[in-house]
Chains A and B, each alone.
Chain A
Amino acid sequence: MIVRWLVILAAVLALARGASAADVVVWHAWMGAEEAGLVAAAQRFEAGGGGRVSLVAVPFGVFDAKIETAIPRGNGPDVVIAGHGGLGKWARMGLFEPVDDLVIAPQMPVAEEAMRWEGARYGVPLAYKTLVLLYDPAQVAAPPKTTDELVALARSLAGDGRYGLAYEAGAAFYHAPFMHGFGAAMWQDGALSRLDTPAHAGALGLSARLAALGPTRPSSERIGQLYREGKAAMVISGPWFVADLGRPIAAAPLPIVSETGQPARPYLTVDGAYVTRGPNTDAARAFVSFLAGEASAIVRRDVGGQAVTTLGVSADDPVRTALAAQAAVAVPMPSDPKALMAWEPLNKALRQTQRGAASPEGAAAEAQAWLELLTRPPPEPASPTPYLMLVGVLGLLAVGRVAQRLSSVELRGQIAAHRADYLWVAPAALAVLVLVVAPFLVGATVSLFAHYEGSWTFVGLRHFADIVLSRDWPITSPMSFPFTLAVTVLWTITNVFLHVTIGVALALVLREPWVRLRAVWRVLLIVPWAVPSYITALIWRTMFDAQYGAINAVLSLVLGHPVELDWFARFSTAFAANLVTNTWLGFPFMMVIALGAMQSIPRELEEAALIDGAGYFTRLRHVLWPLLRPAMLPAVVLGSVWTFNMFNVIYLVSGGEPDGATEILISEAWRWAFSRGNRYGYAAAYAVVIFGVLFVYSRFTNRLLGKRVL
């Protein structure tokens, strides 16, 4: 992760330096044809005497973080090209220069509107994206006009591994058209809407019916593959889906929602170009106004395949015609950061109804409760006085104690005598201070503050009380701390048990004289450990896919009938999937330790036991294991700490599904920090609690083992 960051950073820095001061530096996240269109447009601009442009493609996943850190430090580009969803946050951060006075070619009103924030215009619109109904003309003669027709048609086209309709039904973005079609909303008039309305419940019900027509929780790659193979007759997706298909595709606006007679209204995002605050503003303004102009729009349409927002540049192919028709009824994506809070509750409600774990009404009510928790105002500020006094008293005590000890002549003499030694350890001590102690203290301090929309409030130990006492959820809820702690402990125990059992068993087998190619086996069995854990986790995730995963395929073969078990729909199976993945990752370490420890146990001990009449398992239990145990116990302690904090597997395999039930403490902390409104203080409190649990555990094991392991 860090390495990837550094590489990107280095590339960006190198490119930024390569451009001369007068160049307009542009950061964008467009890929493929869209990028080619942008490059062609920039060439037109340069050819027309507009000055040099240097384009930098920043990976989508790090785009926001890049601009949010680089621009305030003055290392940013002159122009940013990005969707308007983040505009509210960025405008508030002051990343962009308002461009109210910039004259550009006339644009679609909805696109112009998307570029505005709190009355000011921050960018020029370039292209828009929205969902439409894409279909295979070979299978679908006429696109359905209503959702009832859609369901009926999809049913008639399904069977034999083919689907009538495939889309990412579990994501709220794909649910939005039907939500709006039912008259429900997430965000309206500058405020979050209630999620527990009958309209929301109706929409959830419809989404569940539509989801049932397609494969279980398909990824976008899977849907593309299905379409290419002719196994998906209809797809709900956007212009990005159409590129490089190698198969004819047609498009139509999404159908009318039969229940209400209203059109399905997807979200519309507008990719705009924004001018950043900096010395190069004039050249940047010239470039963005060129980009929005007709000549650039035609190039971007023809080369880049974009649906452009410039009026008068007609949509010239059927897909873009459908997009234009859809755009007329689409809802602009809200760009207020507060709107982001509704996504997680809605996603959850969607998956619950689609799994059949809750009725649409129940799921909607739960989503509303969840939304209220996420958006409730920050706790009352606490008075820092008692805390400061406590810190003062503790500080005084510490100073007093140090002074008292230093007053001992003997100690002072010893310190003086070992001055050189202290000097030797100083670099290491400094490193520990900077890399371990300082971040810990910062984290601990942060845990005393609540972070809410960019402002910090001192709340004292409030977060700890909320977490440990589970004030916000009944303790049986997957969101509660006791529940997550119990899952984490279960996770750790089962993992370590399997790691040790499998690791020791394999080490025992590898020792047997009849094993051929021992060295080869040893290397092969260590491979799972050598592969980066997130790669392994992603591979296992795909192997657990309900329709296409290797695991279900093997189960089908063994059981003799097709198995389409949705591993992530139930706690037990999702937990098992995580467990299998982490066991795969964890046994080699234990095997290596066991192999090493066995090397140092004389064979004669076992031979003596054999002659004494002991069978294999008796020897194992009475001779080998007692001698192996001293070496295995520290490994067990280490392994359990690693497993306790094994974020990668949880995040990448089950992702906490179902409903956060398989989340462990560390991944829960991550969610609070990064996907639930940046509650850094709450997340930091979680981290401190994790530290506390592991601290107690390590003291306990030290006592148990009678020596210091950690």
Chain B
Amino acid sequence: MAGIQLRSVEKRYGDTWVLRGIDVSIADGEYVVLVGPSGCGKSTLLRSIAGLNDITGGAIHIGARDVTRVSPRDRNVAMVFQSYALYPHMTVRENLAFPLKIRKDPPAAIQAAVAEVAGMLELGALLDRLPGQLSGGQRQRVAMGRAIVRRPDVFLFDEPLSNLDAALRHHMRVELKRLHRRLGATVVHVTHDQVEALTLADRILVLHQGVVQQVGPPRELFDAPANTFVATFLGSPAMNLLPGRVDDAGLSVGGVALGWVDGVGKAVRGDVTVGLRPTDVVAAAPSSAAGASPWVGAVDVTESLGAEALLHVEIGPHKLVVQVPEPSPWRAGAQVQVVPRRVHVFDPGSGRRL
């Protein structure tokens, strides 16, 4: 087992920068989830760790070893591709045995290892089928099995669950968590799915345009996003961003003074970008004294999500999404009083957290 050190990793295709100055240490046995919008370089970073593409600058260490110039064959990493990349002409058994056969393990050892993995992933009944005869979830488990069977130092998962339906994805998420606990291996997992990121990760790494935005435990990223990008990227529904001002009387948005709302640093002064999670707001009837907020607007649209509803509220020129429990009394056109419980403030120029 081994951790991973990325030291100023850079990747460039001609003039196109894909990764810039990635400096991250991943501890041995840690589960790190890599998130970011499409095209931000997640796969590239993963493939760089695997050695499938050369990096233009920096160094990569796995364990104590500098593997920057080492062939993928010798890095002792296992990768699960988004497409699974199962060998279509081999049965499940042969797919699972392939890495060991190449390593020239004795047949008995191979058989035992395959049986163990098959048991772990409930593949026993599928061993003699070809990948084409499997469902998406079964294929995913075979891909996982082929990675596990080698007992590598590092697992690399590139959106392994993206092809699955919601139920299966949930099931596999739990499986992954269980597996990780059992194997104790280092994992780097790329995903688009926030829930996946938040539930699986020891730490989340947010990437944007090839630059690391923030690395930390899910709670930390959620509670203290380092910038507006991370703030809006994580959390669903997304955080509201509004222009505001902090003066001696506290925070005001669109001329309406809201006072010292939780989350506004006492030292902050001047123009700010205010981040307000829809879940950190309470909606009340305008007349009620629930929060006695001076912030009143009209409900434009309502969306029901089952247990909750989202209200799109127009306050002056600004739009605000507020989450309320169902059944909600609010209808379109109704006047509503918005009470912020907690806000995040960011520098309006750089987007950094203040």
Contacts and interface: CB of A to CB of B under 8 A. Distances in A.
A132 B75 CA distance: 82
B52 A612 contact: no
Contacts of A626: 87, 89
Contacts of B72: 607, 610-611
B327 to A, nearest CB: 49
Nearest to B89: A626
Contacts of A607: 50, 52, 72, 79, 81, 85
A613 interface: yes
A623 B103 contact: no
A512 interface: no
Contacts of B103: 613
Interface string B142-157: 0000100010000000
Interface in A83-119: none
B222 interface: no
B234 interface: no
A626 B81 CA distance: 21
B83 A604 contact: yes
B98 A611 contact: no
Nearest to B75: A611
Contacts of A622: 87, 98
B81 A604 contact: yes
Contacts of A605: 85, 87-88
B153 to A, nearest CB: 12
A511 to B, nearest CB: 16
A627 interface: yes
B52 A613 contact: no
B301 to A, nearest CB: 43
Contacts of A615: 73
A622 B74 CA distance: 19
B267 interface: no
A602 B85 contact: yes
Interface string A304-336: 000000000000000000000000000000000
Contacts of B102: 612-614, 618
Contacts of B136: none
Interface residues of A, number: 17
B50 A611 contact: yes
Interface in B119-175: 146, 150
Interface in A570-604: 602, 604
B77 interface: yes
B89 A611 contact: no
A565 interface: no
B85 A604 contact: yes
Interface string B59-74: 0000000000001111
Contact of B77 (A604, A611, A627): A611
Interface residues of B, number: 23
A627 B89 CA distance: 7
Q: Which among A602, A609, A615, A618 has the highest number of chain B CB atoms within 10 Å?
A: A609
A626 B130 CA distance: 14
Given A604-B81, A618-B102, A610 B87 contact: no
B222 to A, nearest CB: 33
Contacts, number: 58
B347 to A, nearest CB: 42
A398 interface: no
B303 to A, nearest CB: 39
A509 interface: no
Contacts of B230: none
B83 A610 contact: no
Nearest to B149: A612
B99 interface: yes
Where chain A touches its partner, the secondary structure class is helix
A602 B83 contact: yes
Contacts of B85: 602, 604-605, 607-608
Given A607-B52, A626-B89, A613 B99 contact: yes
Nearest to B98: A612
Contacts of A609: 87, 98
Contacts of A602: 83, 85
A357 B99 CA distance: 59
A609 B90 CA distance: 13
B73 A608 contact: no
A612 B146 contact: yes
Nearest to B52: A607
Contacts of B52: 607, 610-611
Interface string B71-108: 11111011101010101110000000011001100000
Nearest to B94: A622
Contact of A608 (B75, B79, B89): B79
Q: Which among B52, B75, B150 has the highest number of chain A CB atoms within 10 Å?
A: B52
A513 to B, nearest CB: 10
A231 B73 CA distance: 64
Contact of B79 (A611, A613, A623, A627): A611
Nearest to A630: B89
A615 B99 CA distance: 11
Nearest to A616: B73
A625 to B, nearest CB: 10
A610 B73 contact: yes
Nearest to A618: B102
A689 B99 CA distance: 51
Nearest to B150: A612
A189 B299 CA distance: 123
A627 B88 contact: yes
Contacts of A610: 52, 71-73
Contacts of A611: 50-52, 72-73, 75, 77-79
Contact of A623 (B71, B87, B150): B87
Contacts of B79: 607-608, 611
B168 to A, nearest CB: 22
Nearest to B104: A613
Contacts of B98: 609, 612, 614, 622
B87 A613 contact: no
Contacts of B150: 612-613
Contacts of B88: 605, 627
A613 B76 CA distance: 8
Contacts of B50: 607, 611
Contacts of B87: 605, 608-609, 622-623, 626
Nearest to A614: B102
B2 to A, nearest CB: 16
Q: Which among A602, A604, A627 has the highest number of chain B CB atoms within 10 Å?
A: A604
A627 B86 CA distance: 12
Nearest to A601: B88
A111 to B, nearest CB: 77
A47 to B, nearest CB: 79
B73 A614 contact: yes
Contacts of A618: 102
A478 B27 CA distance: 77
Contacts of A614: 73, 98, 102
B229 to A, nearest CB: 30
B11 to A, nearest CB: 15
A614 B103 CA distance: 8
A237 to B, nearest CB: 65
Contacts of A612: 78, 98-99, 102, 146, 150
A260 B72 CA distance: 85
A37 B83 CA distance: 80
B92 to A, nearest CB: 15
A611 B150 CA distance: 11
A609 B81 CA distance: 12
Given A608-B81, A609-B87, A611-B78, 12 more contacts: A604-B83, A604-B85, A605-B87, A607-B52, A608-B146, A610-B71, A611-B51, A612-B102, A612-B146, A613-B74, A613-B103, A622-B98
18 contacts: A602-B85, A604-B85, A605-B85, A607-B50, A607-B52, A607-B72, A610-B52, A612-B78, A612-B99, A612-B146, A613-B99, A613-B102, A614-B98, A614-B102, A622-B87, A626-B87, A626-B89, A627-B88
Which 3 pairs between the two chains have the least Cβ-Cβ distance? Answer: A612-B99, A608-B85, A604-B85
